[in-house]
Amino acid sequence: MPKIDILSLPVRTTTIYPPPYDQEVSGRSSIRLGDAGGLTQFGANLVILKPGANASMRHWHEVEDEFLMVTEGELTLVEEGTTTLMRQGDCAAFKAGIANGHRMVNNSDREGRFLVIGSRGLGTETCHYPDTGLKLVIEKDRATFSDAAGNLL
């Protein structure tokens, strides 16, 4: 099995969120581990959060499962109506199709990291953002955001 040299991989600081929603993830970066290994059936990313940063807007997927594990620091899992403090080794899983909007937040004064693994839908994927009413549709690697009224962003 080929070893992935994490230190040689680019650190991604961009987001697909359109303005002004892109500001929600200021202070987040990621390393695309699965892509580096040539994986196509699921994604694996190491997400790095500076103090005060959000990993994403609260969201849930119709088709894709998600699994995450904190690898460094102390992060907060924000779900529908609850928060959970998570430390190194703590894990969470989100089954596709369950409307439990979630995100990771770094409320500590130290950098935090977590590994997130998600299935890659072979067809269309729809992701919902309950706090903003946004919807993301991904078809053949093309991402389209719309607002609560259905207007494309």
Residue 112 inside a domain? The answer is yes
In which domain, by residue range, is 35 found? Answer: 15-123
CATH of the domain at 48: 2.60.120.10
pLDDT digits (tens, 9 = 90+) for 49-89: 999 999 999 999 999 999 999 999 999 999 999 999 999 99
Model pLDDT, residue 120:
81
Give the residue-averaged pLDDT of 102-117.
Answer: 98
Residue 93 inside a domain? The answer is yes
**Could you give the CA distance from residue 13 to residue 146 in angstroms, rounded to a whole number?**
23
Residue 86 inside a domain? The answer is yes
Q: Which residues pair with 105 in a beta bridge?
A: 54, 76
Model confidence band, residue 121 (pLDDT cutoffs 50, 70, 90) = low
Element (H, E) at 71: strand 66-72
Q: Which residues pair with 54 in a beta bridge?
A: 105
Among the listed residues 88, 90, 52, 55, the one whose alpha carbon sits nearest the alpha carbon of residue 72:
88
Rg of the chain over all Cα atoms, to the nearest angstrom:
15
**Could you give the CA distance from residue 108 to residue 131 in angstroms, rounded to a whole number?**
23
Give the residue-averaged pLDDT of 12-32.
Answer: 96
Residue 134 inside a domain? The answer is no
Residue 41 inside a domain? The answer is yes
If one counts the domains in the chain, the total is 1
Residue 34 inside a domain? The answer is yes
